[in-house]
Amino acid sequence: MSFLRIDAVSKSFGANTVVKKFDLSIRKGEFISLLGPSGCGKTTVLRMVAGFEMPSSGSIVIDGDDVTNRPANRRRIGMVFQAYALFPNMNVFNNVAFGLKITGAGKAQIRTRVEEMLSLIGLSHLADRYPYQMSGGQQQRVALARALAPQPRVLLLDEPLSALDAKIRTSLREEIRQIQQRLGITTIFVTHDQEEALSISDRVVVMNAGRADQIGTPYEIYNRPATRFVAGFVGTLSLVDGVAGSDHTVAVGDCPITLAEPSRCEPGTPVTLALRPEAVKLEQTAERINRLTCRVEDTSFLGSVVRLRLSSAGGTLLADTFNSPAAPPPVPGEKVDLYFSPADVIALAKEPGAKAVQAAH
């Protein structure tokens, strides 16, 4: 049973349709990320759920309640923006109390709730501070407390971490996830950062030009991308050109590659194989029945991982190997064989935007 339903929602600004028949059903307490490149319509979807923007068509239902045409302040939704959205002339206490005052709560009730919220975000000791006296990370935690204080039905977060430095970004995203789980609040989180989306979401919606290309768990999105766009946008992927053979095989130069499922391509037609850098190995095992001969072009030492850039008959690909002091990585110019299992190959139909014809399991 879905708690929040976005049903065939479209949005046009003049002649420009930026959200196209967007469907999404969210369970109560679920954490959903909208992931996609800049301009794909993520913020517009969020603003329509919040009521800051009206859909050109379609409907939005929250807990059985059709809110499509209801103003923002009557939807019981909490929202956190990218940054710098606190009231600069109010201290932390008054920022968090703001939404409660609007609902007409009593003084004692407001104090209790604000204290509860500040304790939730670990900033009880900063109640008297003003936004300019706090770090970006602290300000975003206050923004979260402010959004949650009036007990909204849905929490909307629009790239709340993107203005922070890398370390704070990682710790705050984990904190957001913990708070969300503790409160069990239904949440939509917008980001263009795939690692962020994959690390904290129950499900991820990958958006491409106003549409949902794929909706799935982080595991499904990463391992079974439904389209070429998703495959390219989520994670690092090497694309290698091959030619379909019979049923389960694709030839890359002289190397026959076996797929987990039939390619469903006419023998002799072009097929693109997608391989994750962590799936291709220099060591052979019983499962890694595929062998692709390559030449090392370049190596980059990333610490625990050494990334190799290699050329094959089907094009360039990347391979990640673990650093080992006992076994130095191959050097540029060296010929090596890469090994991988049928399940690690994603076969993509040739045309851009086409559905994947076979995905890894």
Ligand X SMILES: Nc1ncnc2c1ncn2[C@@H]1O[C@H](COP(=O)(O)OP(=O)(O)O)[C@@H](O)[C@H]1O
Binding site for ligand X (CB under 6 A): 13, 18, 36, 38-44
45 sits in which H/E element: helix 42-50
Q: Output the residue with the shortest Cβ distance to ligand X.
A: 43
223 sits in which H/E element: helix 218-223
Give the per-residue contact string, 24-63, with Mg ion (x = CB under 5 A; - = no).
-------------------x--------------------
E-strand stretches of the chain:
4-13, 16-26, 31-35, 57-62, 65-66, 77-80, 154-158, 186-191, 203-208, 211-216, 238-244, 249-252, 255-258, 270-275, 290-301, 305-312, 315-322, 335-340, 346-348, 356-358
Which residues, in sequence order, are CB contacts of 301 under 8 Å at separation 6+? 323, 329
Kindly state the smallest distance separating residue 189's Cβ from ligand X, in Å. 12
Instruction: Give 37 or 122: the residue with its C-beta nearer to Mg ion.
Output: 37
Kindly state the smallest distance separating residue 105's Cβ from Mg ion, in Å. 32
Kindly state the smallest distance separating residue 92's Cβ from ligand X, in Å. 28
Q: % helix / strand / coil in the chain, to the nearest 5?
A: 25, 35, 40
Q: Which does 226 bind (CB under 5 to 8 A by kind): Mg ion, ligand X, none?
A: none
Size of interface with Mg ion, in residues (CB under 5 A):
1
Instruction: Give 43 or 272: the residue with its C-beta nearer to ligand X.
Output: 43
Kindly state the smallest distance separating residue 41's Cβ from ligand X, in Å. 4
Instruction: Give 46 or 100: the residue with its C-beta nearer to ligand X.
Output: 46
Which residues, in sequence order, are CB contacts of 7 under 8 Å at separation 6+? 23, 58, 59, 60, 61
Q: Which does 44 bind (CB under 5 to 8 A by kind): ligand X, Mg ion, none?
A: ligand X
Locus of tokens 């491409």:
208
* 112 token code pair: 């209790």
Give 177's DSSP letter.
H
Q: Which does 214 bind (CB under 5 to 8 A by kind): Mg ion, ligand X, none?
A: none
Instruction: Give 160 or 242: the residue with its C-beta nearer to Mg ion.
Output: 160
231 φ/ψ angles, rounded to the nearest 5 degrees: -60, -40
Kindly state the smallest distance separating residue 41's Cβ from Mg ion, in Å. 8
* 336 token code pair: 């090596």
Q: Output the residue with the shortest Cβ distance to Mg ion.
A: 43
Q: Which does 343 bind (CB under 5 to 8 A by kind): ligand X, Mg ion, none?
A: none
State the virtual CA torsion across 173, 178, 179, 183 in degrees, nearest 10: 140
Q: Which does 39 bind (CB under 5 to 8 A by kind): Mg ion, ligand X, none?
A: ligand X
Kindly state the smallest distance separating residue 194's Cβ from ligand X, in Å. 14
Chain residues that interact with Mg ion, rule: CB under 5 A: 43
